């Protein structure tokens, strides 16, 4: 992404966030919504605008799993890793997902089509194991159901 595009996205993110105290998280969310990730060149721009150090901004980006530091695949798959889902088979599902996609958590498949991320609760604790494909939550996911969801996601991507 070109420096001018990044700068434009950062300025637009600040415009969208307005003049609110503690604007760092809303600004970072807006940058990621616009770019798909937080480009490293955005960090000094955000830090300067909020009178923070680059380390402080970087620390927030790396602390929260939601923020990406590189572009995601066309489809983002999040597998719930919380205890409730683990108790009903999420570990076995995660192993299947990793094998099936050929990438581990926090990675993107070799063809760039799918990014795999862990998530620590999707709010479907009674219906685990749960995953999120794009913006859609799916409950009681089995390896077979995951494969079908990926086939459907591939046909839309």
Q: In 10 A of CB 144, how many CB atoms?
A: 9
Amino acid 9: pLDDT: 87
Contact present, 153 and 134 (Cβ < 8 Å): yes
pLDDT value of position 155: 53
Q: What is the pLDDT of residue 139?
A: 97
CA neighbor of 152 nearest in space, from 130, 133, 131: 133
Query: In angstroms, rounded to a whole number, what is the distance separating the alpha carbons of residues 132 and 13?
Result: 26
| Contacts for 32 with CB less than 8 Å, ≥ 6 apart | 38, 66, 67, 68
pLDDT per 10-residue tile (average), the chain, 157 residues: 82 79 91 93 95 96 89 94 95 97 94 93 94 95 96 71
Q: What is the pLDDT of residue 12?
A: 87
Which pLDDT belongs to residue 94?
97
- Fold annotation for 75-156: Glutaredoxin (3.40.30)
Q: What is the pLDDT of residue 148?
A: 96
Query: What are the extents of the domains in the chain?
Result: 3-63, 75-156
């Amino acid at each position: 992404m070109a420096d001018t595009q990044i700068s434009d996205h950062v300025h637009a993110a600040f415009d969208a966030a307005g003049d609110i105290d503690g604007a760092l998280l809303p600004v970072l969310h807006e940058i990621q919504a616009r770019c798909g990730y937080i480009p490293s060149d955005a960090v000094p721009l955000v830090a300067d605008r909020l009178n923070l150090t680059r380390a402080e901004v970087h620390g927030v980006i790396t602390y929260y799993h939601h923020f990406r530091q590189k572009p995601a695949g066309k489809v983002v798959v999040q597998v719930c890793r919380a205890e409730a889902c683990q108790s009903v088979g999420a570990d076995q599902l995660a192993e299947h997902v990793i094998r099936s996609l050929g990438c581990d958590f926090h990675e993107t498949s070799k063809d760039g089509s799918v990014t795999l991320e862990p998530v620590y609760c999707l709010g479907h604790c009674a219906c685990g194991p749960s995953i999120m494909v794009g913006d859609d939550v799916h409950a009681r996911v089995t390896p077979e159901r995951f494969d079908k969801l990926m086939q459907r996601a591939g046909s839309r991507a």
